[in-house]
A = this chain, B = another copy of it.
């Protein structure tokens, strides 16, 4: 049984290597090299470890770390959807659910169910852990774009209101992080690297 489990786990471990080829729109800090999903997920996990103390409510840190480590694995089948995409909404598509079932389904049943449940909890964004995980997912590209002279905001002509609307989920998990994020957004407008619609 233990060996049977191990073989399933190894096939999962090999499969998820593919996440390293999935490029995001956002670039590394001070760079024009796109970040891939594995790098992004690693960064969110580290951010969780050092920023968890700012959550307004206590969170189970291991659970948040698990969520951010696995949150993009479905993109192996479903691909990365740009958060400001106006045609395709990435949330809760059947494609992503099928991807979760196939990829996490490589694992032994109990682990597979745990991973799918964690991913769904993250996507729903209702628990304290999911809210904090989503904050990390919003904060990293904000730090990147402000380090990259506007980054994807400039590249894809994303305006202040759209950025504000996406980033405000940070407010649901941490007043401290939101205050910092809101300041960064406002400073970006002042610097001219983020435009208001009628600018």
Q: Which residues of A contact B (CB under 8 A)?
A: 2-3, 5-6, 9-10, 12-14, 16-17, 20-21, 28-29, 35-36, 38-39, 41-43, 45-47, 49-51, 53-54, 61-62, 65-66, 69-70, 107, 111, 143, 147, 176-177, 180
> Could you say which of B14, B17, B43 contacts A38, with CB atoms under 8 Å apart?
B43
> Could you say which of B16, B46, B53, B143 contacts A69, with CB atoms under 8 Å apart?
B46
Contact A20 B13 (CB under 8 A): no
Contact A147 B13 (CB under 8 A): no
Q: For residue A54, which residues in chain B have a CB less than 8 angstroms away from its CB?
A: 2, 6
Q: For residue A41, which residues in chain B have a CB less than 8 angstroms away from its CB?
A: 42
* Assembled-state Cα–Cα distance A177/B38 (Å): 24
User: Shortest 5 CB-CB distances between A and B: which pairs?
Assistant: A42-B42, A17-B29, A62-B62, A38-B39, A38-B42
Q: For residue A107, which residues in chain B have a CB less than 8 angstroms away from its CB?
A: 50
Q: For residue A6, which residues in chain B have a CB less than 8 angstroms away from its CB?
A: 51, 54, 176-177, 180
Task: Report A14 CB to chain B, min CB distance, Å.
Answer: 6
Contact A51 B9 (CB under 8 A): yes
Task: Report A149 CB to chain B, min CB distance, Å.
Answer: 15
* Assembled-state Cα–Cα distance A36/B28 (Å): 13
* Assembled-state Cα–Cα distance A185/B54 (Å): 46
Contact B9 A29 (CB under 8 A): no
* Assembled-state Cα–Cα distance A53/B180 (Å): 40
Q: For residue A5, which residues in chain B have a CB less than 8 angstroms away from its CB?
A: 53
Residue of B nearest to A37 (CB): B42
Q: For residue A17, which residues in chain B have a CB less than 8 angstroms away from its CB?
A: 28-29, 43
Q: For residue A62, which residues in chain B have a CB less than 8 angstroms away from its CB?
A: 61-62, 65
